[in-house]
């Protein structure tokens, strides 16, 4: 299973719509970095509106992909984290403090516009 990555101008948009298993998460990490490299995208929005569980493994993969993309020069914003998911992450002891987030896709794109100054 592959998570589709869409290109919009110099941004990449991803909406995770399926239950993510470990393999899909790792595959996504690789696919996204390849896509950033190929498209020279400067910003990425990963929308998690439909994701109803983030466990410690998926949290690590998401946190890592933000750092990895940053190393390559692309800013990532995570959007649409559900209230139940946010509460569960804090119970798990995962604060994701260094990860840029926004309420929804629209706010996420605005955040990228501001940060990248375009």
Partner 1 sequence: MNPQSCVNINKEWDIVGARQLGREMAKEIGFSTVDQARIATAISELARNIYLYAEQGKISYEIIYNDSRAGLCLIAEDEGPGISDISQVMRDGFTTSGGLGAGLPGVKRLMDEFEVYSEVGKGTTIKTVKWLR
Q: Which residues of 29-56 are buried (b: 16+ CB within 10 A; e: fewer)?
A: bebbbebbeeeebbbbbbbbeebeebee
Query: How many Å from the N-terminal Cα to the C-terminal Cα in the chain?
Result: 34
Residue in 2, 83, 98, 117 binding partner 1, rule: CB under 8 A: 83
Residue in 52, 70, 104, 115 binding partner 1, rule: CB under 8 A: 52
Residue linked to tokens 């993309």: 69
- Report, in Å, the least distance between residue 39 CB and partner 1: 30
Under rule CB under 8 A, which residues in 22-51 are in contact with partner 1? 22-23
Binding site for partner 1 (CB under 8 A): 19, 21-23, 52-57, 59-60, 82-85, 87-88, 91-94
């Amino acid at each position: 299973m592959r998570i589709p990555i869409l290109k919009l101008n110099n941004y990449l948009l991803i909406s995770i719509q399926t239950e993510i298993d470990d393999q899909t998460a790792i595959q996504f990490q690789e696919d996204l970095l390849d896509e950033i490299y190929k498209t020279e995208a400067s910003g990425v929005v990963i929308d998690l509106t439909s994701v109803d569980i983030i466990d410690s493994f998926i949290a690590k993969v998401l946190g890592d992909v933000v750092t990895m993309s940053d190393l390559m020069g692309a800013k990532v914003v995570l959007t649409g984290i559900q209230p139940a998911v946010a509460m569960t992450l804090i119970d798990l002891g995962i604060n994701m403090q260094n990860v840029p987030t926004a309420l929804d896709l629209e706010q996420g794109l605005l955040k990228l516009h501001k940060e990248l100054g375009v």
